[in-house]
Amino acid sequence: MIRVPVRLAGASYDVTIGAGVLANAREALPLLPGAERAFVVAAQSVAERYLEPLEASLDLPTVHLTIPEGEGAKTLRTAEVLYEHLATQGAHREDPILALGGGATGDAAGFVAATYMRGMALVQLPTTLTAQVDASVGGKVGVNLPLGKNLVGAFHQPVAVIADVGTLVSLPDEGFRSGLGEVAKYGLAVDPDILDLLERSHGAVTTRDPDALAELVAACVRAKASVVAADERDTGARAVLNYGHTLAHALERLDRYGGIGHGEAVAVGMAFAARLAAALGIASPDLVARHLRVLAALGLPQTPPALDPDEVLEAMRLDKKYRRGYRFVLLEEVGRPRVVEVPPGAIRDALAETLGGAA
């Protein structure tokens, strides 16, 4: 078991990481004074696998609230249904919401926890690699609109995060690769030591050895915790965590959140950002080659499907970094990010190069 502290001005908590920690959740939870029941938000398939051992580990009786699978959970309609269930069940502010599942479940359940009765305690119980290394930590919660991803949301830090790497063993290969996209983001943009860890433990990671996964998840959580501590509410430094996401979110929107996985979209977005940095003279061509080697080794894509550049540019206008112009997180070299305003012509050229797959 590994504990990683997330130390913030008003909302510090621990991330507990290891195999089997879900069945010992009670030991990782803080005191919840006044709580009478725990409301577990989970898709049915996740509940069938993990709800029983979770319930057995808690002191509180539980109520299971079912939501759709994947990105389909992140809608205002889902939030409305959850509000109605909480009201019908007589939930009160001292009762915790436990988000059991992937990043979409954590985002939707966290948004409800942030807004129902103006705030309930939130416990994140991530069961996917993407959620364990990224989505469950940092307090960003929200839902999508048809026009864009995460356009409705809040900051609501959890009181605890419990990341059971044993849940990663049963993930479909596609979902596991998607999580590796977020891992690569941390290694490329925040902490190059994570890339070294991936190289040293590549075989153990890809065969999903629990000890290797726990070490990898902990390294990513430490990297994110350091960034979040410096910029809890995303006013500046935290933008580096959006590396690769400007194009990624545009791809997901254009795909109507129904096809390309988030991690795969981030991988494509990072390859694109590296080409853009090289084209603008911010980085050397070696940066592009390093990206392509890392992504290929992890089985991640580097090129998007055929796209209309005008549609991509329009989708990017809804990116949170947009300020009367397109702004990207770009790398000067691995581990040295900065936010750059980029003209539309340069974006078009980099899109053309990315689609061509040239290094």
What domains does the chain contain, in order, with CATH numbers?
2-172 (3.40.50.1970), 174-209+223-356 (1.20.1090.10)
pTM: 0.92
pLDDT at 349 over 90: no
Average pLDDT over residues 73-93: 97
Greater confidence (145 vs 307) lies with 145
Q: pLDDT averaged over the chain?
A: 93
Q: For the segment 49-82, what is each residue's pLDDT rounded down to a tens digit?
A: 999 999 999 999 999 999 999 889 999 999 999 9
Greater confidence (32 vs 354) lies with 32
**CA–CA distances in Å: residue 259 to residues 77, 252, 266:** 21, 8, 14
Q: Are 302 and 268 in contact (CB under 8 A)?
A: yes
* DSSP H helices in the chain: 25-28, 44-57, 76-89, 103-115, 129-130, 173-185, 192-200, 202-206, 210-230, 245-254, 262-279, 285-297, 309-316, 344-356
- For 260, what's the count of Cα atoms within 13 Å in the CB-facing half-sphere? 25
Greater confidence (237 vs 90) lies with 90
Average pLDDT over residues 246-255: 87
pLDDT at 359 over 50: no
Q: For the segment 124-144, what is each residue's pLDDT rounded down to a tens digit?
A: 999 999 999 999 999 999 999
Over pLDDT 70: what percentage of the chain?
97
pLDDT of residue 358: 43
d(CA 87, CA 111): 16
pLDDT of residue 149: 82
Average pLDDT over residues 212-217: 98
Greater confidence (351 vs 281) lies with 281
pLDDT of residue 78: 98
pLDDT at 322 over 80: no
pLDDT of residue 53: 95
256 φ/ψ angles, rounded to the nearest 5 degrees = 55, 35
Q: Are 188 and 270 in contact (CB under 8 A)?
A: yes
Closest CA to 264 of 290, 240, 298, 241: 298
d(CA 338, CA 319): 16
Residue linked to tokens 């980085």? 283
Q: Are 225 and 236 in contact (CB under 8 A)?
A: no
pLDDT of residue 257: 65
